[in-house]
Amino acid sequence: MQNLSFKYPDGKNALENISLEVYQRESVAIIGPNGAGKSTLLLHLNGSLGIPENGKPKIKIAEINLTRKNLKEIRKNVGVVFQNPDDQLFMPSVFDDVAFGPINLGYPDSIVREKVAKALEEVGLAQFERRASYHLSYGEKKLISIATIISMDPKLVVLDEPTSGLDPRGKRRIMQILKKMVVTKIIATHDLEVAYELCNRAILINNGVIVAIGDAEDIIENEQLMLENGLETPLSIVLSRKVTW
């Protein structure tokens, strides 16, 4: 992916004139309080909430313009992991769920099997193929959700609150997996520790408007800015800065 320029006015004013660029292999955090428009922004990245008409707004991913004609190509390149794993996992078994994307991409059976095995291996749940999605724990569901996207080999992975509702161990596990993935990542979260550790850049949005774009550490360490936008610099970061100084 080279340039993602992104600009649109949403009907409900959930987002206003947002323009941003994300570079290849970059990890970008979209941070903001509840209802800031993070999820809305993410869903626009693969045309889930309407497709631009007449080239306005302009959304370009991996040199492909998001249009009705290119929708399939875009969705091949953009993998979205939804916040609620029960939305993400809709097939009766884990295997079917992870295989859903690759099958729709038209891979032959043997490759589908390979991709499923590899994706499950990557999230550390290799033996889960035959399990039923509804019998998994919440943490396992979150991991399988990520596997359903890994199996599609997208160029851009978009994650909506990947660590919400998880215990520290589950959170750590997800963060390790995301760190290992060498793709472009856009992560929406209000867990700033996650953003701080995983992302090099951060985009702060509030009320549908971009408040700040910049180096993730700079933005998150700016306690004043965080408080003004309904967030809070994590105590761990505040303390560690005091200690090193």
Residues that bind another protein (CB under 8 A): 43, 46, 48, 72, 75-76, 78-80, 82, 84, 86-88, 90-93, 95-96, 99-101, 103-105, 109, 112-113, 130, 132-135, 137-138, 148-149, 152
| Smallest separation, CB 134 to another protein (Å) | 4
Between 113 and 155, name the residue whose CB sits nearer to another protein. 113
| Smallest separation, CB 219 to another protein (Å) | 28
Between 79 and 162, name the residue whose CB sits nearer to another protein. 79
Between 112 and 204, name the residue whose CB sits nearer to another protein. 112
Going by C-alpha positions, the residue among 78, 84, 86, 90 that lies closest to residue 41 is 78
Angstrom distance (rounded) from CA 26 to CA 96: 30
Q: Dihedral angle at the C-alpha atoms of 163, 164, 168, 171, nearest 10 degrees?
A: -10
Angstrom distance (rounded) from CA 47 to CA 71: 7
CB 85 within 8 A of CB 149: no
Residue 183 DSSP code: S
| Smallest separation, CB 16 to another protein (Å) | 22
Angstrom distance (rounded) from CA 189 to CA 111: 33
| Smallest separation, CB 137 to another protein (Å) | 8
Between 135 and 180, name the residue whose CB sits nearer to another protein. 135
| Smallest separation, CB 135 to another protein (Å) | 7
Q: Dihedral angle at the C-alpha atoms of 99, 131, 84, 180, nearest 10 degrees?
A: -60
Between 154 and 234, name the residue whose CB sits nearer to another protein. 154
